[in-house]
Structure 1
Amino acid sequence: MSVALFTLGGTISVAGGSHRLTGAELTAAVPGLAELGQPLEVQDVEAVPSADLTLATLLDVVDAASKAVSNGATGVVVTQGTDTLEESAFVVDQVWPHPQPFVLTGAMRNSTLAGPDGPANLLAAARVACSPAARDLGALVVFNDEVHAARWVRKTHSTSTATFTSPNAGPIGQLVEDQVRILTRPARQDGVPGRAEPADLDATRVALYTVTLDDDGLLLDGLADTHQGLVVAGFGVGHVPSALAPVLGALAERIPVVLTSRTGGGSILRNTYRSVGSESDLLGRGLISGGFLDPYKARVLLRLLLATGEGPEEITAAFAQHH
C-alpha cells in the first residue's frame, strides 16, 4: 500500500532563486512521513506557477492517479500553487470516480521564509489520503490542518496561511493530534460524464463576466460568436443592471448562460425579486441558476460539460445539484 504524490510546482516547491524542489526533496523535508506506515510514490509532473496550469494537465493527472489507485494506492496527494487550487480541486471532483481520497494541498510560505507551511500541509494531506474516514468524499483540499470539500472551498486571502475557507459550509474535517476527524459527510454528486479531450477543451471557450456598478455591457457584444458559454457573476442574489437583462437574455438564446453571485458566499435566489434585471427576471429569460457555486467553479463545470458534448437539459441538471 502507498500514497501516490503528484507535484505540479507552486510556492510549496520554491527553494530560492530558480530552483524548484522535486517531490523527493519535498518529502525529505517533512518530519513524520516515515511514521505514516505507507510510502509516498512520487511523480513530478510539472514545476510551474498554478496560473500556468491547464484543464488538460489536470485531467492527465487524474488519469495517472486512477492508474495508481488501480495498482493499489490508498489515496492521492497533489501539490500545486494556491492561486488556482480551488478550481483544480473542483475539476478533480467532477471526474474522480474512485472512493479513495484525492487530496490537494500547497503552501503560502515557501521554504526560504520563516515558518514555511508546506511541510505541515503535505504531512496533513498524506494523513488524509491514508485515512479510511476520508473515503467516498471526492476531491478534498487540506490546508492549515483543515479538510475542505472541493465544491465549497475558496482562497479568501492573498497571503494568510489560513487562506482556504468554505464560506457556505465550513471545513468538513480537521486534523487533531495527528488524527483525521471527519465531522460531516456531504453526499457525493454526479460528476461530468465522459472524458474531455484536449482538442475539445481547446475548442470550448467559456467567458466569465463580472457585473459592476453602471455597467454598460459593451464587453458582451459579439460574445456568442467567439464563445460557447458564459458565466455571469451578478450582484448579490443574482441581479444585473436592467439594461443588461435583454442582452443576457439574447445571449441565453444562443449559448448557455449561468447566473452566479460575485459576493463569495450564499446562493442565487429564484423568486424573491421581480424587477427587470432581478434573479427571477433573468431566469425567466433562460439563464441557468448556478445555485451555491461561485463564478470560478461554475465556469469550470460549464466548460467541462460543453467539452464532453452535454446538451441544454444535461447542463441544467448538472447545475441543479448545486441549488
Structure 2
Amino acid sequence: MLTNTDRRARVLVVSLGGTIASTTAQSAHGVVPQLTAQDLVDSVPGLHEVADIETLSFRQVPSGDITLDDVVALSRLIRDRLKDGVDGVVVTQGTDTIEETSFTLDVLLDGPSPIVVTGAMRNPTQASPDGPGNVLAAVKVAASPDARGLGCVVVMNDLVHAARFVRKTHTSSLATFQSPSCGPLGWVKEERVRVVLRPNHLARISLDLLKDVPRVALITCAIGDDGRTLRTLAASGYRGTVIEGFGAGHVPGVMAPDVENLVAQMPVVLCSRTGAGEVLDNTYGFVGSETDLLSRGVISGGSLDARKSRVALTVALAASVHREHAIEQFVHVRDSVV
C-alpha cells in the first residue's frame, strides 16, 4: 500500500498481446502479437519518471483468444503481486475484449489498489500509434492516489472509464471506448489524474470460491427470431444463458415459451441490445415483454449490458455449487453497479 507520499509508486505492467503488441512477422500477411511487456514499457518516453516499473509477459495472443480461465489466472497473479507490495497494476491487451477482461477483474479483485486495463487501436507499425500514450496514461492512473478505490478501470485516449460501464463503440476510432450510461470517471491532464465521478462499491465474488469456469451462452435477438437456438443450449453443455433482447428487454412473443423452458434448465439473464440504460421491470405487458419474461423466471440484467452480465453469471456459476447461490451472487453484483 502506498502510504508515504515521498515514495515512488511501484506499478506492475502485465501484457497479454493484442494490437498494442503487434508487429510485422515474416510468416504472416499482417501484424501479429510479438512485443513483450518490457518492449512496451521501453517504447514510452518518460515512463520511468512516473513510477518504478516492473513487467511481466503473461500471454501473447489476439484479444479474441483470451479466455475467462486466462483472466481468472491473471486475477490470482494480480492479487499475489498486490500482496507483495505493488501499488498499482496496468494490464495491456487487445481492445476487442477489454470490456470483458476489465469487468472480470473488477468482479474478482477487491481492495483499493488501482487496476488499469489499456490497449491500442493503432499498432506500432502505423503512423502515430496510440499504444505508448495509452500506456503512459494508464501508468499515471495506476500510480495515482486519486485512483484508489475506483475498482478496475479502462484508460484509453486519456479518459478513465469504469469497467462496469465501458463499451467499445467503433471498429477503428481512437475514441472508440465510451461509457454511454454515465460518461468517463475522469481524465489524465499532463501529470495529473482528474477523477470527477466515483462509482458505487461493486460487490465482489471471491476468487477462492472459483472452480471450473462454465460455458454461458449469449443470444442476441433479431427480427423474426423464433427461439429454436434456445432449444439446443442445454444439450450443448451450457450452464447459463444471457439473452440480449430488444429495447427495454423484449423478445418476439413466439420465443417466450422456449425462454421459459430454458429457465427450467439453467439461469437465464435478460439484457438489452441497445448498449445503454436499464432493463425495465413492469412497463409492457405483451407476450415477450420484460414483465412477461420476468414472470417466467428470467433474471433481469439491470444496468449491466449483455457482455458484462455474461461475465457476472459465469463467475457466479463458477463460485457456486447450487443454482440458487449462483443467482444470488449474480444479483448481488448486479444490484451494486448503480
Counterpart of 1:4 in structure 2 is 12
How far apart are 1:127 and its partner, in Å?
0.1
Mean Cα deviation higher: 240-249 or 80-89? 240-249
Q: Which amino acid aligns with 1:302?
A: L
CA shift in 2, pair 1:259/1:302, >3 Å: same
Preserved CA contact (<8 Å) 1:290 1:322: no
Residues 75-105 of structure 1: CA deviation (Å, up to 9, x unaligned) = 0000000000110000000011221100000
Which portions of structure 1, spanning 4 or more consecutive aligned residues, are displaced by more than 4 angstroms? none
RMSD across aligned positions (CA): 1.5
Write the distance in 1 (CA, Å) between the matches of 2:33 and 2:253.
52
CA contact (8 A) 1:261 1:295 kept: yes
The Cα shift of 1:196 comes to 5.7
1:194, CA displacement in angstroms? Answer: 4.0
| TM-score normalised by structure 1 residue count | 0.95
Give CA-to-partner distance per residue, 1:170-207, whole Å, 9 cap, x none.
0001011221000111121111134364x611xx1111
How far apart in 2 are the matches of 1:244 and 1:282?
A: 10
Q: Is the 8 A contact 2:114 2:141 kept in 1?
A: yes
Task: Tell me what 1:94 maps to.
Answer: 107
Picking from 205, 208, 212, the partner of 1:200 is 212
Task: Give aligned-pair identity as a percent.
Answer: 47
| Residue in structure 1 matched with residue 44 of structure 2 by the alignment | 30
Structure 1 range deviating more: 81-90 or 61-70: 61-70
CA displacement at 1:13 relative to structure 2: 0.6
**1:215 corresponds to which letter in structure 2?**
D
Note the alpha carbon deviations across 1:129-183, whole angstroms, 9 max, x for none.
0000000111000000000000000000000111100010100010112210001
Tell me which of 35, 45, 57 is aligned to 1:21: 35
**8 A Cα contact 2:201 2:336, kept in partner:** no
Of residues 49, 54, 75 in structure 1, which corresponds to 2:62? 49
The worse-fitting range, judged by mean Cα deviation, of 140-149 and 65-74 is 65-74
- Matched residues in 2 for 1:312 and 1:163: separation? 32
Work out the CA distance in 1 between the residues paired with 2:209 and 2:136: 32
The answer to whether the 8 A contact 2:200-2:337 is kept is no
- Structure 1 unaligned runs (5+)? none
> What is the correspondence of 1:1-323 to structure 2 with a 5 Å cutoff?
1-17=9-25, 20-36=34-50, 38-195=51-208, 197=210, 200-201=212-213, 204-225=214-235, 226-309=237-320, 310-322=325-337
Count of residue pairs the alignment pairs up = 319
* 1:199-246 CA-partner distances (Å, limit 9, x unpaired): 611xx1111111110111111113233311110000000011111112
Tell me, which stretches of 5 or more residues in structure 2 are unaligned?
A: 1-8, 26-31
Deviation at 1:318, TM superposition (A): 3.3
